[in-house]
Amino acid sequence: MSRVPLRKALADLPAYVPGARVPVGAAAYKLSSNENPYPPLPSVVAAIVDAAADVNRYPDMFATELTATIAERLGVAHGSVVAGCGSVAVLGHVLTAVCEAGDEVVLPWRSFEAYPIAVDLAHARGVRVPVTAEGRLDLPAMADAVTKRTKVVLVCTPNNPTGPAVRDGELRDFLARVPNDVLVVLDEAYVEFVRDPQAPDALALFAEHPNVVVLRTFSKAYGLAGLRVGYAVARPRLAAGIRAASTPFGVSHVAQLAALASLRAEGELLARVDALVAERTRMLDALRGQGWQVPDSQANFVWLPLGDRTTAFAERCTRAGVVVRPFAGDGARVSVGEKEATDLFLEVAAEHVPR
């Protein structure tokens, strides 16, 4: 029997592994997917209900009202904002818009596990640069990795899954070394959780450097992970190319109205972010008090560098009622959730402090 052949690249494509879900009927907290533990605000739910009445119609293909609202809030041109089905989909459109077959994309590792997938699907070649022992992006090494074949550099800040954010000075030094025709993507999926005073102002850098693109999302701080809304901020010419590479009608009408309602309720939502940052601090302080050497985190999760003990630790957490995200051989990422979930997790962590 003859079969339609698949692309050869798919044979080596790494599988994206989502955070484990809590089994049906089980009593456990899900700390494996970096989700916002708070339910949608009533005003956002009302917008979703209203939007549901129009799901027989196609959505606004370019999310015009949403992108205009974002642009005005950020102080950029309306044509500079491109919405998509989550920032990971927008990243795919960015790479499709600029990469030719065989181009190189420099990326940190370990970092967001969708990066290698998106790079391979764009027919490019990923060049992985190890993060430091403290889980930080090694920006000098990433700059050293740029060659004449490099088309894009991915800067995840804060870095997922390790947690630290890059510093303004080091990022400026990095940008000074990167050629102007190499695109630098600042992936800021967790920017609302950043409290490091040395963290960069990505929009200021965007204004100064034509080769900078900023990615953001409504999934984390705004609690719309289930509706998939993200966006890129790019110079209008580049934004037009990203828009052309995007999936038509990629952001649903329901998602667009929910995102707009979330922007109107931003004060309430950012108060929730403050509460999660406080819980993050409690978790980090407790872990360090137990004897853990954990990286700084500026996101809504913490990273435990467990090495070969990662899988066993994650299984122990699940038995205790908290589901975490293991990266076999490297470590476990633990999302910041309910206080009760933190308490359960810390009980398990106390039993597994590296000696």
What lies within 8 Å, CB to CB, of 252 at 6+ separation is: 55, 59, 227
For the domain with range 8-30+267-350, which CATH number is right: 2.60.120.10, 3.90.1150.10, 3.40.50.300, 3.90.380.10?
A: 3.90.1150.10
Examine the pLDDT at 10 and tell me if it is beyond 90. no
Examine the pLDDT at 255 and tell me if it is beyond 90. yes
Q: What digits encode the pLDDT tens for the residues 310-320?
A: 999 999 999 99
260/269 Cα distance (integer angstroms): 13
Residue 331: predicted pLDDT:
97
Helix locations, 197-309, DSSP H: 202-208, 236-245, 253-264, 266-290
Instruction: Tokens for 238, please give them.
Output: 């580049």
The band of 23, judged by pLDDT with boundaries at 50, 70 and 90, is low
The band of 63, judged by pLDDT with boundaries at 50, 70 and 90, is very high
Examine the pLDDT at 230 and tell me if it is beyond 60. yes
Is the CA virtual torsion 75, 81, 83, 89 positive or negative? negative
Q: What digits encode the pLDDT tens for the residues 77-95?
A: 999 999 999 999 999 999 9
Backbone angles phi, psi at 304, to 5 degrees: -110, 110
Q: Which of 161, 192, 122 is nearest to 301 (CA)?
A: 161
pTM: 0.94
Structural domain spans, the chain: 8-30+267-350, 42-264
Instruction: Tokens for 343, please give them.
Output: 């308490």
The CATH topology of domain 42-264 is Aspartate Aminotransferase; domain 2 (3.40.640)
49/27 Cα distance (integer angstroms): 29
Percent of the chain surpassing pLDDT 70 = 97
Residue 28: predicted pLDDT:
81
Residues in the chain: 355
Q: How many CB atoms lie within 10 A of CB 28?
A: 18
Across 179-194, average pLDDT: 98
Residue 355: predicted pLDDT:
78
Examine the pLDDT at 21 and tell me if it is beyond 70. no
Residue 2: predicted pLDDT:
67
Using the structure block, give the residue that is written with the tokens 């580049």. 238
